[in-house]
Amino acid sequence: MFGKPANLFQRICNSLESKRGFQIPTSQRADYKSARTFAFLLLALLCSCSQKQDPIESLLSQMTIEEKCGQLSCPIGFNFYGKDSDSLWLAEDFIGMMDTMPLGSCWAVLRADPWSRKTVETGLHPRESARLLNMMQRHAVENTRLGIPLLFCEETPHGHMAVGTTVFPTGIGQASTWDWELLRQMGEVMGREVRLQGAQVGYGPVLDIARDPRWSRVEETLGEDPYLSGILGEHIVKGMQENVCATLKHLAAYGIPQGGHNAATADVGPNRLMMDYLPAFERAVKFGLAKSVMTSYNTIDGVPCSANKWLLQGVLRNSWNFKGVVFSDLNAVNAIYATQHVATDPTEAAALALKAGVDIDLGGYNYGAFLKEALQCGLVTEKDIDRAVRHVLQLKFNLGLFDNPYVDEALAEAEVGTEENAQLAKQVALESAVLLKNDDVLPFGEQIKKVAVIGPNADNMYNQLGDYTAPQDPDRIVTMLEGILEKGRAEVTYAKGCAVRDENDANIDEAVKIAKAADVVVMVVGGSSARDFKTSYEEMGAAIVDEHLSDMDCGEGYDRSTLKLLGKQEELIQRIYATGKPVVTVYIQGRPLDMNLAAVQSNALLTLWYPGMEGGSALADILWGDYNPAGRLPISIPRSVGQIPVYYSQPATGDYVEESAKPLYPFGYGLSYTQFEYSDLRVDELTERPGCFEVLCTVKNVGPCDGDEVVQLYVRDEVASIAPASNLLKGFQRVHINKGESKTVNFTVVPKVYSQEKGWHFEPGDFTIMVGGSSVEHISQTLTLR
C-alpha cells in the first residue's frame, strides 16, 4: 500500500479522509516533508485500520522481512558522512544501506578518537553533529518506504564521546564520590548533551563489578561492590533518562576475567553470579527503569553472554520484568562463531543470539542479512524476529521519534559543553579525590612559597581524561600543572622527569634539581588510557598492545600482568623522595596501581583516578584547602598482584608467607582534613516488617574544619545457608558536618541471601551491624532476627 514518500503521504491523506472523515488542508498536504505531520498522519492511519491493534503492531504488520531485519542492525556510523570546511554530506555507504535494508539504528556516528580517525578539526562540533543527524533522520523518514526514524547510539560512560562535550571523571572516580545525587546530576547533563546533538541512546553506565585490577577496563566501572554500583548506577540512569535511553554495560560478570584478560571467561557459579555480579544491573532495571542493556563479550560456564537464554530471558526479562532493548557489544554476535566457536557460521551465531534474547547487534550491518538467511534455513521464526523488532519500535515510540526525530541545531551549539557543565565536572572531580595519607603536609599553608610540580601526568591533558574520550581543545582542559599555576598561591616550577612508559624519555636530574629548590613537591605519576593515532586497534575497537610505545598502560585492551609503575617512574619517585623535601604524591590512574613506595615515603598521597577536564582545578583546590577531600575507595588497593583477587567482602583468610593478605588500602577508605567520631549506635527490629531492621548512629565532626563524611553501614550474617561474606555494604550516606557539630544518620536494612533453590529470601539468625568510615573501621552491634 506504500509508495515513495510524496505518494505515500498523498495516499495516507486520502485514506484518512475516506476512513475517518479527516479533512487535511492543501497547505498541510504540500508539507509532506514535515516529520511531525507525517508521523502523526501515519500513526493515525495505522490506528484507524484496527481498533484492536496498537500503532506498533500496525506498523509491524506492514513491514517486509528486509525492513524488520534492518531494524535489528546497528552498524558503526563514524564513516557515514563527509566533511569539508562548512559542508556536510551523507556517505554512499549509508545511502546504500538505507536503500537495501533500511537501518534501525547507527552507533558512534559522532565518535571522534584515533580509532575513528576523527580529530578536533575533522570531527564534528555540536552544531555540526546536530545538523548531520538531522540530515540522516530526514533521509530515513523521507527516502524509505515506511519512513521509520533512526536510533542514534553514542558512547557516554563519562560524558558524550564527541568533540566539544563535557568530560567528567571516569567511572571509578565517579564511584569514589559515594554521592548518588551528584551522579544523578552528572547523568542528566551527559544525557542532555547527547540528545541536543540528535542522538537518543547513551551507552552507560558500566555496572561490571571489578575485582581484578589487571583488567584493562576497571576505570569504566563503579568498583568492586554490587550495592555501591547499584545505587550509583540507578541514579546515573535516572539522570540520563530524563533525555535519552541509558544502556547498562555489560551483562554479565565481565569484570572478573580469568587472568585479567579483557573478554576472558568468567569463572563464577550461579549463586555468586546472582549475589555479586547481577544485583547492580537488577537495581538499575527495577528502580532506575533502564530502557536498554548491553551483553558482554565473555562466557559464563562456557555459554557466551550474547547467546545465554537463561541470562537474557530467564533473568533479565522474566525475573526482572525488563521491557527494553538488548544490544550485543560490538561484534559480540560474530564472536559466538569466530572466537568462542559455539556456532558453525555467522548465520547460526545470529540465530543463537536472537533466540537467546539479543535484539540489536551492535556494529553488525550483516546481522540483518544473517537473520534473513537463518529464517530461510529454519533456524529462527518470523515470530522470533518480530519479538525483537517490537522492542526496537517500542523504544522509538517511547523516545518520541515518531513525533519529532529532529533537533534544534542552534540549541546544540549553545548548550553543549557549557561552562556550567564544566563546573559540574569539577565538582565530581573534587568529590572523587581520595586522600590516602597525610602527615600534616596538606593543606598548604602560607609558609609554602615555592612548589615544584613533577611527573609524567602533571601536564598531559589526555592522560587525565581516560578511555572513551574524544580529541580535545586544550583551552577546555585544565591539567594538574595549569590548575596549580592558576591558583596563584606560590611560585611554581615544573619538570616532567620521565614518561609513563618510554624509558628513553626521561630527565630525572632536572626534576631532582627543581625539587631541591622548592618548599614542597607535587609529584604526579600513574598511568594513562590515552589512545594516539599510532595505536593499532582490533575490529571491536579495543587497543592492541604492540611495539608502539605510547603512555597508554590502561584502557580497553591494555591488560596488565603487574601493577608496577612503568617506565622510569619508580626511579623518579625514589630520587625525589631522597631529596628530603616534603612530597605530595598524586596518582592519575585507571586502575589501582602499586602504591607501596608512596605509602611509606610520601608525606601525602592522593588518587584522583582520571579526573576529567577540570582535574587540575580540583587538585589545586584540595592542595590549598579550598576544598576538604572526602572521596572513599570504591575498590581495594592491593599490595601486590599475588593478592588478586582482593576485595573487602571475601571470607577471612590467613596471611601469605611474604606479606599480609589484607589490601594496602581497603574498600571504603579515605581521609579528610578533619576527623569524625561515631557513637550511639542503635539497631531495632521493625516488627511491622519481619526480617527488616533500622539502624541509627550519631556522627560528630571532632576535627578542625567543616567536611563531608561518608557514613558506611555493613552487615555480616553470622550463619547462612550459602557461605556468607565477611561483611557486606548495605547502606551509605555522604553527609556534610560542620566543625563541632553532630548528625544522626539512619538506615533501613533488609538482609537477604540467594540460593538456586529458594531465590532471594530471608534467613533468621544473628547479624552483626557495623557503622563507620570504611569497611574496616567501625562500631558494631549484634542483632538476632527471628
Tens of pLDDT, residues 751-777: 999 999 999 999 999 999 999 999 999
| Spatial distance between the Cα atoms of 756 and 284, rounded to a whole number of angstroms | 22
Q: Is the pLDDT of residue 293 over 60?
A: yes
DSSP 726-775: S-EEEEEEEEEE-TT-EEEEEEEE---EEETTTEEE---EEEEEEEESSS
* Residue 596, all three cell numbers: 607501596
What contacts 378, CB < 8 A, 6 or more positions away?
none
Q: Measured between alpha carbons, how far apart are the two ends of the chain, in Å?
A: 67
Average pLDDT in the 276-305 region? 97
Report the relative pairing of strands 87-90 and 105-107 from DSSP bridges: unpaired
What are the tens digits of pLDDT across the range 581-605?
999 999 999 999 999 999 999 999 9
What are the tens digits of pLDDT across the range 437-470?
999 999 999 999 999 999 999 999 999 999 999 9
Average pLDDT, the chain: 93
Provide Rg for the chain, Cα atoms: 27
What is the per-residue pLDDT for 754?
A: 93
What are the tens digits of pLDDT across the range 639-672?
999 999 999 999 888 999 999 999 999 999 999 9
For residue 74, what is the DSSP state? E
What is the per-residue pLDDT for 42?
A: 55
Q: Report the predicted TM-score, pTM, of the whole model to 2 decimal places.
A: 0.93
Spell out the alpha helix ranges (H) of 528-595: 569-577
What contacts 503, CB < 8 A, 6 or more positions away?
567, 568
Place of cell 538488548: 326
Q: Which amino acid is at 207?
A: L
Q: Helix axis angle, 5-20 relative to 126-143, nearest 10°?
A: 60
* Residue 492, all three cell numbers: 611554581
Average pLDDT in the 350-377 region? 94
What are the tens digits of pLDDT across the range 713-736?
999 999 999 999 999 999 999 999
How far is C-alpha 428 from the geometric centre of its chain's CA atoms? 14
Edge-first strand order for the sheet with 765-772 is 728-737, 707-717, 765-772, 778-785
What contacts 158, CB < 8 A, 6 or more positions away?
167, 168, 169, 170, 171, 173, 174, 190, 204, 220, 466, 468, 469, 610, 612
What are the tens digits of pLDDT across the range 463-500?
999 999 999 999 999 999 999 999 999 999 999 999 99
**Coil, strand, or helix at residue 526?**
strand
Average pLDDT in the 684-695 region? 90
Report the relative pairing of strands 87-90 and 81-84 from DSSP bridges: antiparallel
- C-beta neighbour count of 50 within 10 angstroms: 11
Tell me which residues are annotated as active site: 329
What is the per-residue pLDDT for 690?
A: 85
- C-beta neighbour count of 314 within 10 angstroms: 12
| Spatial distance between the Cα atoms of 220 and 238, rounded to a whole number of angstroms | 18
Q: Which helix (H) or strand (E) covers residue 679, if one does?
A: strand 676-685
Q: Which amino acid is at 672?
A: S
